Structure 1
Amino acid sequence: MPMKNLPLTVLACVLLATAAVPVTAAPAKAAKPAKAKTEAPAARVEIALAHQLGSVGAENLQRLVERYNGSQSGAEIKLVHAAEGEKPTVLNLVRRQDVLEAIAGKAAFKPLHEVMKEAKEAFKPEIISPDLRAGTTDEKGRFFALPVAYSTPVLFYNRNALRKAGLDPDQPPRTWMEVQQTADKLQDAGEKCPYTTSWPVWIHIDNVSALSGVPVATAKGELAFNALPQVKHIAMLATWHKAKFFRDFGRRNEADKHFLNGECAMITTDSWAHTGFREARGVELGVAPLPHHDDVFGGRQHTLADGASLWIGAGYKAPEYKAAARFVAWLLTPDVQVELARTYGQLPLTDGARSALKAQVQRDRDHTLDVAYASMKGWGSTHPLRIFGIDPVRLILDEELEAVWADSKPAKAALDTAVSRGNAVLSAKPALKKAIPF
């Protein structure tokens, strides 16, 4: 258990008494003052937080950690860059694309609910939004990790660009067909990049499938994201690419900067990106739910939430776990949740933080939070299997989608190949396949 620095309170006071003695008596020796006992300050418990963030993300995380270190005296968190194959540190920030790998090797981690209970730190799992639990709870609903940076895909658009094209910026496209019609008019108005997307697999396979009510795998554990709705969607994007309605910039969030600098008029990306887009020059930001196909059975369903999560390594001492538990408790406080949401864009984990944040975003006229929650409809944690989270399968699918954009393979052939290759990879990795929540 980490100890607080103890103040030095020991004061040595020695009273020297002198008595009158005869002149002939030998002078009395002065008593030596007693040495003051000094209590050494208790050492702070030092724990590491491993991450795989880039330079900007690492700087943001460093500022958060420094704030925590300065808020208390019992522990100090130090950032380290995670190295592949090494034992997990006490705290580990796991990216969403690596969560299944963490679950497959969960023996290397200690469940969060156990850490909080043993450390006697207050932890009320019921306050964490049901939308934001994917990949962090077991079959009993207990948290084995903390969701810390979750978001959901939305459509951002430049209101100025829509006005220039003669469109009403208060009536953004709601369906994919309306996106096509909007892109056509934007192109006629001179836009070179009417529409782009970040995270193609996460948005156009995982979330479009969820919106359409179509599974990405069978109940028997076979990948199946090559059904008719998914094929039609990717084929549609292929025609847009040929018509230059859609421009592709990469597999991750490379497209964000092309919207940020005003080059692209519309983008589908994670909701957290609004923190950067708010400051974009020449961009009057608009936000709408991720578009849906209005011809699918059952109508529009919901989007998914996902993101980075905090895992606690196994094999450490009680004081280190106490320090980790206190950090988790601090992260869940409303003021910290609001700061994380306002500064970094992630969805607040608790209703209290969401309510506190709502007053601020209404003042700023930022509707991203409302749009994000309305998109999930309370079901952001359903469909626990996310193709984006199976890293080797995601890489395969990224390759196949790029072949479609390059017009070297039709949509159906690309998705059929991705499913076949993906199932072969999972068959060769039984531990990974076992971790997948089919």
Structure 2
Amino acid sequence: MKRILAHLAAGIVLATPWLLHAAPKTKPVAARTAPVVPQEIVLRHALSGPALDAFATLVVRFNDAEAKLKTGAGRIVLEDAQGAADHARLPQLALFDQDDAPAMFGTRPRFRPLHQVMAVGRQAFDTKAFYPQVFDTVDDLAGRMQALPLALSLPVLFYNKAAFRQAGLDPEVAPKTWWEVQEVAGKLREAGWKCPLTSSRFSWVHVENVAAQHGEPLVVKDGKQERLAINNMVNVKHMALLTSWQKSRYFSYSGPGREGDERFASGECAMLTGESSLYARLTRQQPGFPLGVAALPYYDDVYGARPKQVLPDGAALWVLAADKKPEQEVIARFIAFLMRPDVQRDWVRATGFLPMTPAAVQALRESGVDPAILAEAEARLSMPKRDAARTKNGFGRSRIRAILDEEVEFVWGNQKPPKAALDSAVARAAPLLAAPPTAKN
């Protein structure tokens, strides 16, 4: 081997003068260009199961298209929030629900408004293309879009049909009002169920949406300042009813997040109020589960109640640590890709999340999705926005739900009555609503 290397070295040395001498007689050889290194964009998420599979497939499709670009190509790299080496190190993109921000980042991170990123990236971005109720989840006080509402759900009631049969109830008839829920819970309790009813995302379902269904504003103007209005009669009445159910073992509080999902899926609890997207997860992961789903119950004894007037909510795609123009250009193209009707169609069918635009619904209709389901979704999402129905994105405003979650915990711990807890939440939220809105979650 040493002899071979020696011969090769000698050949190179002997050839060098010839190459130098012959070079003027030949055309210059163009220097090889270095391979284009794509602009890497890290996207942190907390997806799992079918939703993760579907999102990963979309990312591969986008990356394949980017690889064909001659200049400025980008590449999306998925990062599981649980496996992130340093949660405090912010990625350029993140798909998350604001309620989950502390767990994913250790704080509530600053974000770059999406409308600014799309302008920098020179991508067409017509916010009027979104359904009003979808747009309402991510706009600020000035009506500007802050993030892409990619993973929204509506609040619904799930129930175990086998449990209903066991209790002598008709499994095809779900309770429509909270008084009917009370009657059903009592029969389930008598049939031996230790957890007739639980909930996920309690504050969103049982405070914000109960208020919305019965025409109560979440925020009201008090002079020039806004103040939280969750301590209204309907909310106090509802919390008091749930408290009585807890004492009767009709209702079991699971926590402020999605803790109730597993208790329902495991068969521990017979009914669950939670996110509509759970339907897709359960039917795919537990195909034999005797699942029933119905609209969120309401109070039929409250004048002017609109039971279908519920508020969508969920995870959105937020731009975080993307300060460089090339990064924002790649992100803008990725957002434009995700908004394509065919991409939305595939995403919604795989996950059960809400379609963002009428174009997506049309694509779903053409793909064979039940027209009745699409008509129901379209009717709800097309409803005009109600200005006082939710707090808007801005400085400290996402902390309001965290405050509400904390006060609700006092109720279940028998430390505060419902009215006192809601009053306290209103008082604690006042400074946050008075602060000027900025790009901070």
Q: TM-score range by the shorter chain?
A: 0.7 to 0.9
Among residues 195, 214, 218, which one is paired with 1:193 in the alignment?
195
Contact kept in structure 1, 2:185 and 2:250, CA below 8 Å: yes
Deviates more, 1:138-147 or 1:340-349: 138-147
Q: Relative to structure 1, is the Cα distance of residues 116 and 361 closer, same or farther in structure 2, using a 3 angstrom cutoff?
A: same
User: Is structure 2 residue 253 aligned with structure 1 residue 248?
Assistant: yes
Q: Relative to structure 1, is the Cα distance of residues 55 and 167 closer, same or farther in structure 2, using a 3 angstrom cutoff?
A: closer
- State the distance in 2 between where 1:237 and 1:361 align: 41
What is the Cα deviation at residue 207 of structure 1?
A: 0.8
- Residue 311 of structure 1 corresponds to 318
- State the distance in 1 between where 2:116 and 2:227 align: 33
Q: Relative to structure 1, is the Cα distance of residues 415 and 52 closer, same or farther in structure 2, using a 3 angstrom cutoff?
A: same
Among residues 28, 45, 51, which one is paired with 2:38 in the alignment?
45
- Residue 262 of structure 2 corresponds to 257
Contact kept in structure 2, 1:153 and 1:372, CA below 8 Å: no
- Residue 297 of structure 1 corresponds to 303
Among residues 276, 280, 284, which one is paired with 2:290 in the alignment?
284
- State the distance in 1 between where 2:293 and 2:362 align: 20
Corresponding residue SS for 2:277: helix
- State the distance in 1 between where 2:112 and 2:274 align: 33
Deviates more, 1:55-64 or 1:171-180: 55-64
Please tell me the residue identity of whatever aligns with 1:195: L
- State the distance in 2 between where 1:333 and 1:89 align: 24
- State the distance in 2 between where 1:392 and 1:117 align: 29
- Residue 418 of structure 2 corresponds to 411
Q: Relative to structure 1, is the Cα distance of residues 408 and 386 closer, same or farther in structure 2, using a 3 angstrom cutoff?
A: farther
Corresponding residue SS for 2:219: coil
TM-score, normalised to structure 1, is: 0.77
Contact kept in structure 1, 2:93 and 2:321, CA below 8 Å: no
What is the Cα deviation at residue 341 of structure 1?
A: 1.7
What is the Cα deviation at residue 272 of structure 1?
A: 1.4
- Residue 10 of structure 1 corresponds to none
Please tell me the residue identity of whatever aligns with 1:245: Y
- State the distance in 1 between where 2:423 and 2:87 align: 32
Among residues 55, 58, 65, which one is paired with 2:59 in the alignment?
65
Q: Relative to structure 1, is the Cα distance of residues 390 and 179 closer, same or farther in structure 2, using a 3 angstrom cutoff?
A: farther
Q: Relative to structure 1, is the Cα distance of residues 361 and 275 closer, same or farther in structure 2, using a 3 angstrom cutoff?
A: farther
- Residue 334 of structure 1 corresponds to 341
- State the distance in 1 between where 2:228 and 2:348 align: 34
Deviates more, 1:46-55 or 1:284-293: 46-55
Which runs of 5 or more structure 2 residues have no equivalent in the other structure?
1-21, 68-72, 102-107
Contact kept in structure 1, 2:140 and 2:392, CA below 8 Å: no
- Residue 181 of structure 1 corresponds to 183
What is the Cα deviation at residue 195 of structure 1?
A: 1.1
What is the Cα deviation at residue 175 of structure 1?
A: 0.9
Contact kept in structure 2, 1:158 and 1:286, CA below 8 Å: yes
Deviates more, 1:283-292 or 1:235-244: 283-292
- Residue 426 of structure 1 corresponds to 432
Corresponding residue SS for 1:255: helix
What is the Cα deviation at residue 130 of structure 1?
A: 1.4
Deviates more, 1:108-117 or 1:401-410: 108-117
User: Is structure 2 residue 85 aligned with structure 1 residue 78?
Assistant: no
Corresponding residue SS for 1:288: strand
Corresponding residue SS for 1:218: strand
Task: Map 1:66-215; keep pairs closer than 5 Å.
Answer: 66-73=60-67, 74-79=73-78, 89-97=91-99, 109-138=111-140, 141-215=143-217
Identity of aligned residues (%): 38
- State the distance in 2 between where 1:215 and 1:98 align: 25
What is the Cα deviation at residue 126 of structure 1?
A: 2.4
1:52-106 Cα distance to aligned partner (Å, 9 max, x none): 63777878755543442234312112345686776x654343533379xxxxx99
User: How many pairs are equivalent?
Assistant: 398
- State the distance in 1 between where 2:25 and 2:417 align: 95
- State the distance in 2 between where 1:255 and 1:206 align: 18
- State the distance in 2 between where 1:407 and 1:361 align: 50
- Residue 395 of structure 1 corresponds to 402
What is the Cα deviation at residue 45 of structure 1?
A: 3.3
1:229-277 Cα distance to aligned partner (Å, 9 max, x none): 1111001001111111111111100100111122222111011111222
Please tell me the residue identity of whatever aligns with 1:321: Q
Deviates more, 1:309-318 or 1:149-158: 309-318
- State the distance in 1 between where 2:372 and 2:132 align: 23
- Residue 347 of structure 1 corresponds to 354
Corresponding residue SS for 2:221: coil
Contact kept in structure 2, 1:98 and 1:391, CA below 8 Å: no
Q: Relative to structure 1, is the Cα distance of residues 250 and 75 closer, same or farther in structure 2, using a 3 angstrom cutoff?
A: same
Q: Relative to structure 1, is the Cα distance of residues 261 and 380 closer, same or farther in structure 2, using a 3 angstrom cutoff?
A: farther
Contact kept in structure 1, 2:41 and 2:74, CA below 8 Å: no
What is the Cα deviation at residue 371 of structure 1?
A: 5.7
User: Is structure 2 residue 278 aligned with structure 1 residue 270?
Assistant: no
